[in-house]
Every structure is written in C-alpha cells, then in structure tokens.
Structure 1
Amino acid sequence: MSVPVLIVSGPVGVGKSSVAHEMFDQLIDRDIAHAVIDLDAFGISWPYGEGDPYNERMALRNLASVWANYAASGVDRAVIARVVEAEADLAAYREAIPGAEIQVCRLVASAGVLTERVRRREVGSSYDVLVRRSLELAESLEVSGPADFVVETSGRPLAEIAVEALTKAGWI
C-alpha cells in the first residue's frame, strides 16, 4: 500500500511546525485523513545515541511505532515536520512508514527572519546554538538538502504557505 508522506523541512525557525499544524487544519477542512507528526518531539530524550547529535535514530524508531497506530486507525498519509539534511536520510523514513512515497517541501526564509523567529521563540540556554544552527542549515540545505519543491515563508500568512505546499504536493 502506498502512503503519501510530505516532509516539511528547513532550518530552525523557518516555520516547519507552524506550517505543519496549519496543514492539519487545511486537510481537515477538505476531509482528508492524515496525521501531522512533529518529529522533533519524538527525539527528546537523554542520552542521545552515540554519533547521533540530534537523536535522529530515536525519533525514527518512535515514528515507526506511532505510525503503526495511525495506520491501524485508517490514517493513510502523513505530514512530518523535521529537518532532512540529505537524500540518504529518507531511507529511514521509508523504513519507519512502510509504503511511504515521500515528497520533501523545503521551507525558506531570509537570515534576518530566521534569526528574529529564533529570538522570539528561544529564551533559554539554547538561543545562541539555535541561531548558529539555523543559519548553517539554511546554507547547507540550499546546497545539498533534498527538496521536491521550495516554499518561501517570510512575511506570509500560515494558511497561504500551507495551501501552496499542499497544492505543490498534489494533496489539494
């Protein structure tokens, strides 16, 4: 069975989680069965695996477990918010979601917008690290990040961004 999967990728602060949650509303409005999974939450545990600084393996193991529950309840497609840095990383998503037909939507925003969003959101110890990581990711994803299509998020309403991405993916 084929499972459409739309991964919303991009640097820290670009709006992955917010856009994915807006996609949830847009798909509900169209009566399209789906799950929205903010994969960052699935990897929040300590200690991280050796050689896995972003706890990717834990997040993907948890994705496989949760996906089995969604599939058993009739959910037949998924929106996943998570940075995907390389095409090779998609194999683990295909393993976690059997039959996954993956599209990657890379969200982009200017460096100033990314920095401002991180500043507004991160008030704790991680601020400097996350700003630095955001700008590094923006650059590296531009060069080598997988993307079936790109959507600009700067200065745009969430609904507009989500509808553009879902339309480009062929879901609406």
Structure 2
Amino acid sequence: MAAPEHEDHRGPADDASHLVVIGGRSGVGKTSTALALHALLRADDVRHAVVEGDFLDLAWPPPWEHGLDLRNLAAVWANYRELGYRRLVYTNTVSVLAAEALAAAMGDSPAVTAVLLTGSDDVVDARLATRETGEELRAHRARSAAAARRLDAAAPAGTHRLATDGETPEQLAVRVRALAGW
C-alpha cells in the first residue's frame, strides 16, 4: 500500500476506525449536517470520508432484500481504508438502527457513534416542500412521519439525539464532531 499523500496525526494512536452514523427522518437535515461536518473537518485537516447511504442501493426495482447497501459499503470502505482513511461519516434514514451491520460491513471493527437527528413535523414538512411537490410531497411527508415514529421507538440505547429545529447544519456539525471526539 502506498503511503497516503496527506497524513492526519490527530487520529487514534492505533489503526482503529471510527464510524459516525447520522440517521433521522426525511427532511431532518442528515445530508446537510454531514456536508457541514465534512467542511469543518476539512478546514481542520482531519482525514475522513463521507458516504450517503441512500446512493449505495439506489436502483429500480429496489435491491434492499439483497443487502446491496452493505456489500457496496464494504467495497467502498476497503478502498478508503487502503488509502489510510479511518473515519467514516455515514448518513441514511435508518442508519442508527443498522449501525452494527454497517460496522460489520466495514470489516475492521470500528468504534461507532450513532446520532439521530430529530425535527418537528412543521419544520420537516417545510423543508420537504422545498424539494418535493404534489403527490410526491404528500407521500414523502407520510413516509417521513412514519420513519420518525419508528426511529424514536427503536433507536438503540446510546444513540445521541439532536434536535434540528432552529439549528444550522454548521451548529449540528460541531455537536456531532464533539460526540465523535474528532
């Protein structure tokens, strides 16, 4: 393996990896928070990778029953790992429920920090209205509300809950970084 072009000496003393999963209902700000965290870490020269989990199995018909997202994550992480990356930020609606499976897919026993972003119906509905219309908006709102109920009930112990109402993605990124210890 070639030496990485960029060394980050603020990482763990060993070769351990760290997975931060950011989950939450549609429209709560997962991707915006992950991108703000990326900008924050980049500005501080902290080596990391960001994976938007929805794109690991975005296909029609949906291949969810085949575990394609986990297989693709394993392949993507192997490539990052080979280049010296040890920190992964992963976003997906249900990522906090799947954190153990995601960590197993990484194959290197990462430490895991699970963050569930929450938001009120009014705020999330307004955010969704900026990107959806008509029947798609109605369906998306219903799926988002159902996901919020499921995540609230099923998020495992140890999951950090961060309310996004009235918070900017940059403020949330600072909080996620602190939770991860990065």
Q: Name the TM-score, length of structure 1 as normaliser.
A: 0.88
Match of 1:135 in 2: 145
Which of 38, 49, 53 is the matching residue for 1:35?
49
What residue identity is the alignment partner of 2:48? H
Per-residue deviation, 1:126: 3.0
Number of the residue aligned with 2:99: 90
Q: Residue 122 of structure 1 aligns with which residue?
A: 132
Question: Greater CA radius of gyration, 1 or 2?
Answer: 2
Other-structure match for 1:76: 86
Name the % identity: 30
CA drift of 1:86 comes to 6.5
Secondary structure of the structure 1 residue equivalent to 2:51:
strand
Structure 2 residue 175 is matched with structure 1 residue 164: yes
Aligned length: 166
Instruction: Could you tell me which runs of 5 or more consecutive residues in structure 1 were left unpaired when the two chains were aligned.
Output: none
TM-score by length of 2: 0.83
Cα shift readout 1:81-126 (whole Å, capped 9, x = no counterpart): 1122674x33321221122221110101111111111111123763
Aligned pair partner of 1:11 in 25, 40, 50: 25
Q: Which runs of 5+ in 2 are unaligned?
A: 1-14
Structure 1 Cα separation of the partners of residues 58 and 78 of structure 2: 20
C-alpha distance 86-39 of structure 1, shift in aligned 2 (>3 A): closer
State the AA in 2 paired with 1:77. R
Misfit runs of 4+, over 4 Å: none
Q: CA RMSD in A?
A: 1.9
SS in 2 for 1:9: strand
1:158–1:90 CA distance, 2 compared to 1 (3 A): closer
CA pair 39-124 structure 1, distance change in 2 beyond 3 A:
farther
Pick from 128, 135, 154 the counterpart of residue 165 of structure 2.
Answer: 154
One-letter code aligned to 1:92: A
